[in-house]
Chains A and B, each alone.
Chain A
Amino acid sequence: MKLKKLNYLWADLFSKRNDNDLTLLSTLKSNLLFSKLKRKEIAYVSKYVHVRHYEPNELIFSQNEKGLGLYIIVKGSVDVKMRPNDKTKEEVSIQTLSSGGFFGELALVDEESRRTASAYAITNTVLIGFFKPDLIEILERKPETGVKILYQLSIVLGKRLSETTEAYTELQHNVNELVHFNELKRIA
């Protein structure tokens, strides 16, 4: 149950899955964050992103590490894992993301953001990194493009929050039911 709740923070809710390898521009265009941008704006943003290559099992970032921004999967797949509590050293997989998926977007807006999970490349993986300094630079130079990205980012974060709230409410309901059931059992 706990895993399910955490899963909503990392769930791949937005990707338009495509089995074919996507190019940089089409990956950006197909991503929810950049979907409202015009072709010219996408070309402009592409100058600010960072293409990174990862080998199988390579760590992309680790839980509790200070985060700088989000990653979009161009090719390959990524395993998102976390340690359920501080006492456990073993990491538990909570989500597998494939091409078109993205993760780590909270770091774009959170000042002192720490990664809430670790991410590993499962196969040979190509990622697009889009970080806080890139977003700030775009906002300074092309505010109208930056605002479109920020608006889409707020939709993503709102969706994550709504899914998490829903899961939390469900969990709370289940806990209440369990408490009620135990009380009834005790009385009986």
Chain B
Amino acid sequence: MSAKKTEHIKLADQSTDSSSQNQVSGKLIKKKLTPKEWAKFVFFLTITIGTSLIFLLTPTLLPSTLISAVLFFAFSPLIDWFERKGISRLNAIVGVLIICILSIATTVKFTSPLINQEVDSFHKGQSKYIAQITEKLRKQEERSFGRVPVLKNANLTDKAIEWFNKSGDKLLGIIPNFASQLFLAMFLVPFITFVLLKDGNEIRRSLLKLVPNAYFETTYSLSSRMLADMGGYVSARLLQTLLFAILTTAGFLYLDIPYAVLLGIFAGLASAIPYLGPIIGAVPALLLAVLDPVIANQLIWVSTILLIVNVIDSFVVFPLIVGSIVNLHPVLVVVSVLLGSQLFGVAGMILAVPVTTILKILISEIYNKIYGNIDSLQ
């Protein structure tokens, strides 16, 4: 007992000398960065920000990187499951990617005739729809002359048609670029997804080696939380989008609506945009129901299908699958989506929630740090 006590006192004396260089602030002791640690920190920031900027600012890399990131989050739980069953990670990744590529190829092979048929049919009906829209617009314009005579010289219908034509030309101009992007993505996406699934962990650990000791635990904890939240969110969103597309397509096929598959896929993809997505996704189907004389009497049924799918999505699918993972205030979601659309268009709208989730984790960590210190000072 006395020997141990002597040892403690001795250690205590030594510790006073060694601790003198660290200032005590409240309950927590501030960690100081040595010049070497500062250099590591600057290097870490340069590498992280530099790599992110390369991927974000290179238009040819951005779509493939984003799709690969989504696939990485979607496949990670599956690869982990295979690893748990005793299959090596490499074999599991190769197997899953091959199955995925074969599934896409098979789906394209079997659904392309149907989609092609719908696209061809839409292409043929395009001039008919434009003529109908022009006619309806002209009638509306002529009716408004009596109330607003100034509109007589405005030629609103001609201007609207001109805008439609220009937009169509622009869209046609994008197609070659889109085709080349698609071609590039066919090679890049499997490659980047493979690298992320196989070596993502090592890449993260190599980057973390550059984080100074003082910030290491916080950075590691934050990055782990962000990855876990993103993984959950992406998987949940993919499932929700898929269910939305399946339900809408099934409903439209049941009503025998033309282009049911195209409209269903579009509505599903659009539903990935929080709050505004269902409205955007409903527009083509509703427009078609208004313009197409074949299904003109089915406008009420198209609206009902869209309403039912949205109710199922909003009250069952979203709260059960997505809502439990991302706990953001609805106002915050709407503001972030609008801000995202202003800054980065459609991609910004889709990425708004994950980015806001990351920011929320960062802000809550900083908040906890500040309040932790304040608490400790009391």
Instruction: State whether A58 touches B8 (Cβ < 8 A).
Output: no
Most buried by B among A65, A83, A95, A140: A65
Chain B stretch 203-220: residues in CB contact (< 8 A) with chain A? 205, 208-209, 213-214, 216-217, 220
Instruction: State whether B220 touches A133 (Cβ < 8 A).
Output: yes
Cα of A125 to Cα of B4 in the assembled complex, Å: 25
User: In the complex, which residues of chain A have a beta carbon less than 8 angstroms from the beta carbon of B205?
Assistant: 47, 50
> Would you call the interface of chain B mostly helix, strand, loop, or mixed?
helix
Expressed in whole angstroms, the minimum distance between the Cβ of A172 and any Cβ of chain B is: 15
Cα of A81 to Cα of B29 in the assembled complex, Å: 12
> Would you call the interface of chain A mostly helix, strand, loop, or mixed?
mixed
Expressed in whole angstroms, the minimum distance between the Cβ of B235 and any Cβ of chain A is: 14
Instruction: State whether A61 touches B18 (Cβ < 8 A).
Output: no
Instruction: State whether B8 touches A61 (Cβ < 8 A).
Output: no
Q: A62-B29, A122-B18 are in contact. Are A89 and B217 (CB under 8 A)?
A: no
Q: Beyond A4-B1, A7-B4, A79-B14, list 16 extra A-B contacts (CB 8 Å).
A: A4-B8, A50-B220, A59-B22, A59-B32, A60-B213, A79-B11, A79-B18, A81-B15, A86-B27, A92-B12, A93-B12, A96-B11, A118-B29, A120-B19, A141-B83, A142-B83
User: In the complex, which residues of chain A have a beta carbon less than 8 angstroms from the beta carbon of B83?
Assistant: 141-142
Top 8 closest pairs, chain A to chain B, by CB: A93-B15, A93-B11, A133-B224, A62-B29, A64-B27, A68-B217, A89-B24, A92-B12
Residue from A3, A64, A69 within 8 A of B28 (CB atoms): A64
Instruction: State whether A91 touches B213 (Cβ < 8 A).
Output: no
Expressed in whole angstroms, the minimum distance between the Cβ of B195 and any Cβ of chain A is: 16
What residue in chain A is nearest B14 (Cβ atoms)?
A93
Can you name 14 A-B residue pairings with CB atoms under 8 Å?
A3-B8, A4-B1, A7-B4, A7-B8, A50-B208, A60-B213, A63-B27, A64-B372, A79-B18, A81-B19, A89-B24, A91-B19, A95-B11, A120-B19
User: In the complex, which residues of chain A have a beta carbon less than 8 angstroms from the beta carbon of B213?
Assistant: 52-54, 58, 60
Instruction: State whether A92 touches B15 (Cβ < 8 A).
Output: yes
Instruction: Judge if B314 is at the interface, Cβ distance under 8 Å.
Output: no
Q: A7-B8, A140-B80, A141-B83 are in contact. Are A62 and B376 (CB under 8 A)?
A: no
Contact pattern, A 93-117, Cβ under 8 Å of B = 1, otherwise 0:
1111000000000000000000000
User: In the complex, which residues of chain A have a beta carbon less than 8 angstroms from the beta carbon of B27?
Assistant: 63-64, 83, 86
Instruction: Judge if B127 is at the interface, Cβ distance under 8 Å.
Output: no
Instruction: Judge if B124 is at the interface, Cβ distance under 8 Å.
Output: no
Expressed in whole angstroms, the minimum distance between the Cβ of B196 and any Cβ of chain A is: 15
Instruction: Judge if A166 is at the interface, Cβ distance under 8 Å.
Output: no
Most buried by B among A91, A132, A140: A91
Chain B stretch 1-49: residues in CB contact (< 8 A) with chain A? 1, 4-5, 8, 11-12, 14-16, 18-19, 21-22, 24, 27-29, 31-32, 34, 36
What residue in chain A is nearest B10 (Cβ atoms)?
A93
Instruction: Judge if B155 is at the interface, Cβ distance under 8 Å.
Output: no
Chain A stretch 1-35: residues in CB contact (< 8 A) with chain B? 3-4, 7
User: In the complex, which residues of chain B have a beta carbon less than 8 angstroms from the beta carbon of A51?
Assistant: 209
Instruction: Judge if B202 is at the interface, Cβ distance under 8 Å.
Output: yes
Instruction: Judge if B170 is at the interface, Cβ distance under 8 Å.
Output: no
What residue in chain A is nearest B208 (Cβ atoms)?
A50
User: In the complex, which residues of chain B have a beta carbon less than 8 angstroms from the beta carbon of A118?
Assistant: 29
Instruction: Judge if B143 is at the interface, Cβ distance under 8 Å.
Output: no
Expressed in whole angstroms, the minimum distance between the Cβ of B10 and any Cβ of chain A is: 9
Contact pattern, A 155-166, Cβ under 8 Å of B = 1, otherwise 0:
000000000000
Instruction: State whether B8 touches A63 (Cβ < 8 A).
Output: no
User: In the complex, which residues of chain A have a beta carbon less than 8 angstroms from the beta carbon of B80?
Assistant: 140-141
Cα of A89 to Cα of B26 in the assembled complex, Å: 8
Most buried by A among B4, B8, B372: B8
User: In the complex, which residues of chain A have a beta carbon less than 8 angstroms from the beta carbon of B89?
Assistant: 141
Chain B stretch 71-120: residues in CB contact (< 8 A) with chain A? 80, 83-84, 89
User: In the complex, which residues of chain A have a beta carbon less than 8 angstroms from the beta carbon of B8?
Assistant: 3-4, 7, 93-94
Instruction: State whether B11 touches A52 (Cβ < 8 A).
Output: no
Instruction: State whether A131 touches B220 (Cβ < 8 A).
Output: yes
Instruction: State whether A57 touches B84 (Cβ < 8 A).
Output: no
Instruction: State whether A142 touches B376 (Cβ < 8 A).
Output: no
Cα of A105 to Cα of B24 in the assembled complex, Å: 24
